Structure 1
Amino acid sequence: MKKKIGYIFVNIEDELPEFPVAMWDFNQCDPKKCSGRKLARLKLVKPLKVKQRFQGIVLTPTGEKCISPNDREIVETKGIAVVDCSWARIDETPIAALKPVHGRLLPFLVAANPINYGRPFQLSCVEAIAATMYITGFKKLANFYLNKFSWGHSFIALNKELLDIYANCIDSKSVVAEQNKYIEEEQRKQLTSKNAQPDFPSSASDSDSD
């Protein structure tokens, strides 16, 4: 038995969001490896046109604030959208044209997808969506989306400590503060280890952006 939830028809036995999950696809990724395309095929995200507006949380490099538990109400009522583009072509992607109402950045997290495994910040679409769900209090939904990929469980495993820290913060500023604290601690550990070289990025500023 099926019913319509948000943008998609789903089996009522599935534990799916009652809010929209959407994506702008700039056709820059390998369709066979693109997590966003797979989610679209599974009817778990709705593709948006470039000029189509989205009123919920938009995960974009142009965001001025970091996602935080304080965004839960926006997610719950208006949903999540992600930009599907190649990290190698980010500078040529017309992201600014999207003009989101609630543009957000993601805090420091490590990718588990096969293309960017182990690289900070370079998350796939499903990882970005799942991270947002997890941080805003929809942990079961985050796992549901990640479980559509054979490697999906690795994302939570790699980032469990950080995701839980972020999920227990109050707002964007506290998420950024915890991010910076974590990065600085890891830098110190690596610098004090014999022959170790730091591979973490510099701490973000104390502003809302990361």
Structure 2
Amino acid sequence: MKKLQRLGLAEQIPESRIGCSVVLNPFADLYILKADNTAIERCGLCVLDGSWSNPGRLERAVYRKQRKLPTLLAANPVNYGKPNILSSAEAVCAALYITGYTELAERVMSKFNWGHSFLSLNAAPLAEYAAAESLEQLQTIMESYF
């Protein structure tokens, strides 16, 4: 996230300012869907950096609009090919893509040498997740890939 901050694509905010933002949390009950784009447009998208290194913090977190990502494969050099262990940048990209902000998602990934790999590795599931109208559809799509 530091790189995205330096490039003006993200900003660090205190937790007290999260408000109505859509918060990416791997322990949330609900998956992100394209219908969440309204909340993202109005209030923003929030990722808690370092969430994989301190998962207990997120298990206890209480935010108004928490969403988890459907299964995707990491393409970052540390966790390449591992399901659901995404970098913060990959998580932001996936959430943006699924909610219809594909150009912004591609712009985020273009800032990383391996960014194109994330989009190509997950191209088919991302496209189908973005088209899902309901949680049931999203789960069916996820099961067909993973």
Task: Give the alignment's TM-score, normalised by structure 1.
Answer: 0.65
Matched, 1:80 2:45: yes
- Of residues 141, 145, 152 in structure 1, which corresponds to 2:115? 152
Task: Please name the residue that 1:171 is paired with.
Answer: 134
Extract unaligned runs of 5+ from structure 2. none
Q: How far apart, CA to CA, are the structure 1 residues paired with 2:31 and 2:47?
A: 14
- Of residues 19, 22, 28 in structure 2, which corresponds to 1:54? 19
Question: Is the 1:51–1:97 contact (alpha carbons within 8 Å) kept by the matching residues of 2?
Answer: no
Q: How far apart, CA to CA, are the structure 2 residues paired with 1:116 and 1:108?
A: 14
Flag as ranges the 4+ runs of structure 1 deviating above 4 A. Answer: none
Question: Is the 1:110–1:123 contact (alpha carbons within 8 Å) kept by the matching residues of 2?
Answer: yes
- Larger strand proportion, structure 1 or 2? 1
Q: How far apart, CA to CA, are the structure 2 residues paired with 1:53 and 1:76?
A: 14
Task: Give the match's secondary structure for 1:149.
Answer: coil
- Larger helix proportion, structure 1 or 2? 2
Q: How far apart, CA to CA, are the structure 2 residues paired with 1:54 and 1:163?
A: 27
Higher Cα radius of gyration: 1
Name the % identity: 36
Q: CA deviation at 1:64?
A: 1.1
- Of residues 38, 41, 44 in structure 1, which corresponds to 2:9? 44
Q: How far apart, CA to CA, are the structure 2 residues paired with 1:115 and 1:47?
A: 23
Extract unaligned runs of 5+ from structure 1. 1-35, 184-210
Residues 29-88 of structure 1, C-alpha deviations (whole Å, 9 max, x = no match): xxxxxxx11112222111122444331211012311001112121112111100111524
RMSD of the alignment, in Å? 1.7
Alignment coverage as a number of residue pairs: 146
